[in-house]
Structure 1
Amino acid sequence: MFGFLLVLSVLSLVDPVPPPVPCRQCCDDLEPAEGSGAQPVMGGFSRAPEIRTYINMTILKGDKGDRGDRGTPGKPGHEGPPGARGPAGSKGSKGQAGLPGDPCKVHDSAFSVGRRKSLHSLESYQALLFDTVFVNLDEHFDMFTGKFLCHIPGVYFFNVNIHTWNFKETYLHIMQNDTERAIVYAQPSDRSIMQSQSLMLQLELSDEVWVRLYKRERENAIYSDDVDVYITFNGYLIKASVEGRDADGSSDLTLDEKGIH
């Protein structure tokens, strides 16, 4: 009780402070003109403006974070048009020699054919055709054209035997492609004889060897019959070229190895 009286005695010693009186004008009691947009004064005091807090987020930007994991790759796009062909590159250097070939690999080529019909010269040259086969390894001799086709480059031996015709000249050539290599010749005689010619030729891939009867500029013929074979043509490979390399250093594959038959 004593404390309460002490507080009252202290408060009675402090002079009360009157509240502040706002400044007013003589027109403050007037209502604002209609349509002016001014706020009316309530109780002689205008309403305080509303204050809203605004935070600028740009000044609150933090540090750059760590890089995230790589996402899954997207679908491939459409394939573009092919580009133009580039310039040819420079020629490369010569490669190393290959390993030795199989010593057991052997190339063979041989034929022996005959003719049972006589043949007389015409206005043009004739290839001597044959109708009897004795040997024709891998069909290297073409019976339809009368020509041997070289499938294996190398050195070959060829031989042709013919029987002359009485009182007629015999005039033939052993041909390599379109070049005359050796002649088979006999002058007209009252008796027929056997004539023979042999030679060796260095052949390249696809070379042709055949026998050609001369044209009618000279009346010539060869004799044979259906009973005995008087005309024969033979050839065989003596030595194949160095495998895989020829004179100009290019490939020396056989026709069979190149898929040509």
Structure 2
Amino acid sequence: MGPQVTMMSVALGLRWGVLLLPLLVLGVPTQEPRSREAVASGPTRRCRQCCDSEHLEPANTAATSLPYVLPEVRPYINITILKGDKGDRGLLGAPGKLGREGPRGERGLQGSKGAKGQAGSPGAPCRRRFSAFSVGRKTALHSSEGFQPLLFDTVFVNPDGHFDLKASHFAAPLGGLYFFSLNVHSWNFKETYLHVVHNEAAAVILYAQPSDRSIMQSQSVMLALAAGDRVWVRLFKRERENAIYSDDVDTYITFSGHLIKPDDDD
């Protein structure tokens, strides 16, 4: 029994040593713990290991007499485990005020060419700004006393009917500059005397003295006409006989005219 008792005593001693070791290291409190302020104001001790016996500082009798205060331990809570489900979307708030206009940006790159658009609707019809005529006479004519209108019986050009063949005068459809020309064939030994008339006034004269040879005579003029003005031809007999020649085969007498430039206001 001797050895067994000895082994049991050693085992009990070890158990008691393990239980009392924290008290020996940390110290046993002899009075109520002091406040944080009191502990903070007291002398501090540097932590060191128990086995560091070679570098132990001199014992401070005042410090060893103070009771050991356990550090404050704050509990740690894992917030992630307390997170709830996502709530519903809230109502839309009122719109804020309009901000100030920002600076103008730089010009962008030129884009690609777009597709061709559809053709537009046709415009209003343009006003016709053209006028022309050309007429002739296949019959010879002897003038009577005074003035006698020269009547024409053949139409070469009169697309818009601006020349009245019955009255044998041209009526200007609009104001502008017009050009006119008159061609006749004289008669042997007879005077040739004609006027190109603007309304009722002679504008130019075509004249040939009596001769033993008949010849072609011509006259041309440019006139500024107003819309509605008339231009025509007349014979004038003085003391001598006045006549012009033509026949049914050839046309010896012609009268022509056309618009050169219309007025800007027309």
Larger Rg: 2
Deviation at 1:217, TM superposition (A): 3.7
Confirm or deny that 1:133 pairs with 2:155.
Answer: yes
Gaps of at least 5 residues in structure 1 are: 1-100, 245-261
Quick one: which of 166, 191, 195 aligns to 1:169?
Answer: 191
Which residue of structure 1 lines up, in the alignment, with residue 168 of structure 2? Answer: 146
**Amino acid of the residue matched to residue 137 of structure 2?**
R
d(CA) in 1 for partners of 2:182, 2:236: 15
Please tell me the root mean square deviation across aligned C-alpha atoms, in Å. Answer: 1.8
Confirm or deny that 1:192 pairs with 2:214.
Answer: yes
Q: Alpha carbons of 1:240 and 1:102: their partners in 2 closer, same or farther (altered >3 Å)? A: farther
Question: Given the two structures, how large is their TM-score scaled by the length of structure 2?
Answer: 0.52
Secondary structure, in 3 states, of the residue corresponding to 1:125?
Answer: strand
Gaps of at least 5 residues in structure 2 are: 1-122
How many positions carry a matched residue from both structures?
Answer: 144
Quick one: which of 108, 124, 134 aligns to 1:112?
Answer: 134
**Amino acid of the residue matched to residue 189 of structure 1?**
S
d(CA) in 2 for partners of 1:220, 1:118: 11
Which residue of structure 1 lines up, in the alignment, with residue 232 of structure 2? Answer: 210
Mapping 1:1-261, distance limit 5 Å:
105-244=127-266
**Amino acid of the residue matched to residue 156 of structure 1?**
Y
Question: Given the two structures, how large is their TM-score scaled by the length of structure 1?
Answer: 0.53
**Amino acid of the residue matched to residue 168 of structure 1?**
K
**Amino acid of the residue matched to residue 180 of structure 1?**
A
Runs of 4+ displaced beyond 3 Å: 101-106
Q: Equivalent pairs: percent with the same residue?
A: 63
**Amino acid of the residue matched to residue 139 of structure 1?**
G
Secondary structure, in 3 states, of the residue corresponding to 1:139?
Answer: coil
Conserved? CA contact 2:182–2:254, under 8 Å: yes
Q: Alpha carbons of 1:229 and 1:108: their partners in 2 closer, same or farther (altered >3 Å)? A: same
Conserved? CA contact 2:190–2:240, under 8 Å: no
